[in-house]
Amino acid sequence: MISVSDVTMRYGAKVLFEEVTTSFTPGRRYGLTGPNGAGKTTFMKILSGDLEPQKGTVARPRKLSVLSQDQFAFDAFRVIDTVVMGNKGLWAALAERDKIYEKSELTDEDGMRLAELEAVVGEEDGYTAESDAAILLQGLDIPDELHERKMSELQGGQRVRVLLAQALFGKPQALLLDEPTNYLDLDSIHWLQDFLTRFEGTLITISHDRHFLNSVCTHIADIDYQTIITYTGGYDDMVLAKTQIRARLESENAQREKKIAQLNEFIARFSGGTRSAQTTSRKKEVERLQSTELARSNIQRPYIRFDQNRPSGKYVAEIEGLRKTYDDLTVIDGFSGGIMRGEKICLIGRNAQGKTTMLKSLLANQPNLAEKDFALDAGTVKWGHEVQIGYFPQDTTGVIEPGATILDWLRQFDAKATTEDIRGILGQMLFRGEEGTKPTAALSGGEAARLLFCKLMLLKPNLLILDEPTNHLDLEAINALNIALQRYEGTVLLVTHDHDLIDEVATRIWHFDKGTIEDFKGPYEEYLHAAAVTR
């Protein structure tokens, strides 16, 4: 169990949470939710012991495992060893045992110490540690040939998955995971969901993946109103309960305010007359009914709406014999197909299978959107009549040029738009008041993503090409994007690992696997059913 008693954390005048007392019990799986800036990661660091609260105490179990955020801390170690390090007691015993065995001669004391260490290794399943670690790595799409490599040889996304395997290793009593689905493809996310639902200890996870939270969590610990309130059920259950509670409190406050107004009217009319006794009792009633001001929620919900300047023609694109290789690796091998107006195509598959490459290939002949030095090996893409493309790249580095305010940067995309028009769009994406004068060079990842959505709303294209648009977005923004894409009347090409976004938006699936692309015309649920039948 993890117990929190009277914990307070604030930065200057901003209170994240105050005098929080709660507990996280074994067998329960908690989602820690709240908008960006609410203090989720700060609270997680307090739970892990990496950060001391300004007030209060935290009690933790002996075996606590945390998803490391430092991708480079284990560069000198083998991948398999990095995972085993997740069990600190076992790793220390193995390291000390190996050091003793390196001696040319062993003393009696060495022999006794070895016996003690072997007992620890046995108790901690050390004799199957490498095979157990390998199973975790395979589930997270780290192939066997990488297990003996140094961590420094892995790509960023692969390192994160190894660190996730490290956190899961060693049967911890409590598990703290901050954004564990980052850099995971759908197959790995589903594997992780299954693993965590079988976890018997205390789980606390931060995630912006609604489907993941609904699938894994038995409870939601929500940071809002400067405190933490725990709800039973998944994320959707929490939203419903929270909305109902808030509506009831607001209704009760409104009724009290109405009654107070009636009493004050009576007091004003009769306070100087023969009814002074009655007015005195009315004053006491007003004092009793005086409503307390409801705490303000720190949740901010953006509003996304994609319109079109004009529809495209019926045929959006014709793709013929598209081929792209990187050295000896064939990523796209002669793909042909057509895109029709109004289709919403989701590109899915394991990481590094060609989804982003496909989007880059489609844009290779677009002067303002093509990636520099990217060239097709073969094939053509013919765009249809009046197609206007809005593109959201996976890597936003350099997309928003420094040296301007966000208001001025947006202005370049529609010379006819008034300042009020642009401020209105910025306000929809939570850039309010003087935030429009913020320098583009000072934008965070989440702010940059929201500004790119402002650009798309201003351009009003009839084809949206979105590559991992949910990166850096909180749950409220992802839900707003989901609704906007469902309502959008144009055409969509979307790369995402968000299960709900695929399930609720897609009308067609392109599944990428080892150079081949399966083109399924139908929603995701039907695709999954068809895939299950053919297995």
The confidence score (pLDDT) of residue 43 equals 94
Low-confidence winner among 9-18, 126-135, 157-166, 518-527 (lowest mean pLDDT): 9-18
Short-list 333, 337, 339, 338, CA closest to 464: 339
The pairing of strands 315-326 and 378-383 is: antiparallel
pLDDT tens, position by position, 462-477: 999 999 999 888 888 9
Quote the CA–CA distance of 447 and 224 in Å, as a whole number: 21
Domains 1-62+173-233 and 315-534 share a fold: yes
CA distances from 87 to 16, 58, 60, 173 (A): 32, 22, 16, 11
66: enclosing H helix or E strand: strand 64-66
On the question of pLDDT at 24 being above 70, the answer is yes
- Residue 292 pLDDT class (50, 70, 90 cuts): low
Tokens of 422: 């642009």
Quote the CA–CA distance of 191 and 176 in Å, as a whole number: 18
DSSP-derived secondary structure for 195-249: HHHT--SEEEEE-S-HHHHHHH-SEEEEEETTEEEEEES-HHHHHHHHHHHHHHH
Domain boundaries of the chain, sorted by first residue: 1-62+173-233, 74-158, 251-289, 315-534
Q: In b/e form, how buried is each residue of 245-278, taking b as 16+ CB within 10 angstroms?
A: eeeeeeeeeeebeeebeebeebbeeeeeeeeeee
| CATH architecture for segment(s) 1-62+173-233 | 3-Layer(aba) Sandwich (3.40)
Portion of the chain with pLDDT greater than 90, in percent: 63
Low-confidence winner among 1-5, 252-256, 432-436, 476-480 (lowest mean pLDDT): 252-256
212 and 499 in contact (C-beta within 8 Å)?
Answer: yes
The confidence score (pLDDT) of residue 264 equals 78
On the question of pLDDT at 523 being above 90, the answer is yes
pLDDT tens, position by position, 86-104: 999 999 999 999 899 888 8
Alpha helices in 312-417 (DSSP H): 355-362, 406-411
On the question of pLDDT at 36 being above 80, the answer is no
Short-list 95, 2, 29, 11, CA closest to 234: 29
Question: Which residue do the tokens 């979105």 mark?
Answer: 466
The confidence score (pLDDT) of residue 286 equals 67
Cβ neighbours, 10 Å, residue 11: 10
The confidence score (pLDDT) of residue 235 equals 93
Quote the CA–CA distance of 192 and 165 in Å, as a whole number: 10
On the question of pLDDT at 534 being above 80, the answer is no
| CATH architecture for segment(s) 315-534 | 3-Layer(aba) Sandwich (3.40)
